[in-house]
Amino acid sequence: ILNVEQSPQSLHVQEGDSTNFTCSFPSSNFYALHWYRWETAKSPEALFVMTLNGDEKKKGRISATLNTKEGYSYLYIKGSQPEDSATYLCAFKNYGGSQGNLIFGKGTKLSVKP
Amino acid sequence: DTGVSQDPRHKITKRGQNVTFRCDPISEHNRLYWYRQTLGQGPEFLTYFQNEAQLEKSRLLSDRFSAERPKGSFSTLEIQRTEQGDSAMYLCASSESGNIYNEQFFGPGTRLTVL
């Protein structure tokens, strides 16, 4: 059974703080790692697709890194704003596995206080 | 809006009733997926279609669940004889088959509450 773990489960920060959270996944047969942001009452929004060991991606104040050899990815938010409050999900896809599905972690719920 | 849409957004039903949800994918996407998210868990895969063909079903999709995509466009997910354990957020996603990393675009979900 493939397991994707995210930590912490929840995080409360003040506006302006920088923060980061972790996604751990099986290091064998890696194919891709997806990050999504899910705000309450909205659709999960794709942030990054990461495919190569050492990948670093950036979108505004949000960035992510990938280590496929040890099986983890970090998501960083610089200078958190209240609008960053959301659940951040990572999802793993392996080689040779299902063509269809992504395997999701439970998410990290971020709350940013003004 | 050209994103994935789902209807209804919320459904409250009594145990034993049947419910049906609808998903309209992004129009040029030929793959469509259903996931379920229960409290405290991440989304879990239920099934996926390529055009009208249902190519994969997870073990979570019991006999009471059936999904269809009759014309390769919208899809429906029906749950018969609902149980309290079916209470969850049901998410639909779509993608292009040529997307080699399987980037999926999600709808806002249908939240089902079974009383």
Say if residue A104's pLDDT is above 70: yes
Query: What is the tens place of the pLDDT at every residue in B76-101?
Result: 999 999 999 999 999 999 998 877 78
pLDDT digits (tens, 9 = 90+) for B14-52: 999 999 999 999 998 999 999 999 999 999 999 999 999
The answer to whether A98 faces chain B, any CB pair under 8 Å, is: yes
Is the pLDDT reported for residue A99 higher than 70? no
Neighbours of B8 (CB within 10 A): 13
Q: How far is CA A42 from the centre of its chain?
A: 17
CA gap B97, B50 in Å, rounded: 8
B101–A31 C-beta distance less than 8 A = yes
Q: How many helices (H) and strands (E) does chain B have?
A: 0, 11
**Beta carbons of A98 and B56 less than 8 Å apart:** yes
pLDDT given for residue B72 in this prediction: 86
- Tally C-beta pairs within 8 A across A and B: 67
Q: Contact at 8 Å (CB) between B65 and B74?
A: no
Q: Are A12 and A113 in contact (CB under 8 A)?
A: yes
From A100-104, B43-47, B63-67, the region with the lowest mean pLDDT: A100-104
Interchain CB contact of B8 with A (< 8 Å):
no
- Interface check A32 vs B, CB under 8 A: yes
The pLDDT > 70 percentage for chain B reads 99
Which stretch of B3-7, B71-75, B81-85, B91-95 has the lowest confidence by average pLDDT? B71-75
CA distance A4 to A104: 6
- Beta sheet of B75-79, edge-to-edge order: B5-7, B19-24, B75-79, B65-68
Q: Is the pLDDT of residue B2 over 80?
A: no
Residue in chain B nearest A34 by alpha carbon: B103
Residue A17 vs residue A54, higher pLDDT:
A17
Sequence-distant (6+) residues with CB within 8 A of A53 are: A66, A67, A68, A69
Q: Is B31 on the interface with A (CB under 8 A)?
A: yes
Residues of A in contact with B109 (CB under 8 A): 43
What's the mean pLDDT in A80-99? Answer: 89
Q: To which residue do tokens 């957020």 refer?
A: B89
Quick one: how far is CA A88 from the chain centroid?
6
Token pair, residue A5, equals: 């773990």
- Closest chain B C-alpha to A14 CA, distance in angstroms: 24
Q: How far apart are CA A36 and CA A24, in angstroms?
A: 15
The model's confidence at residue A2, banded by pLDDT at 50, 70 and 90, is: confident
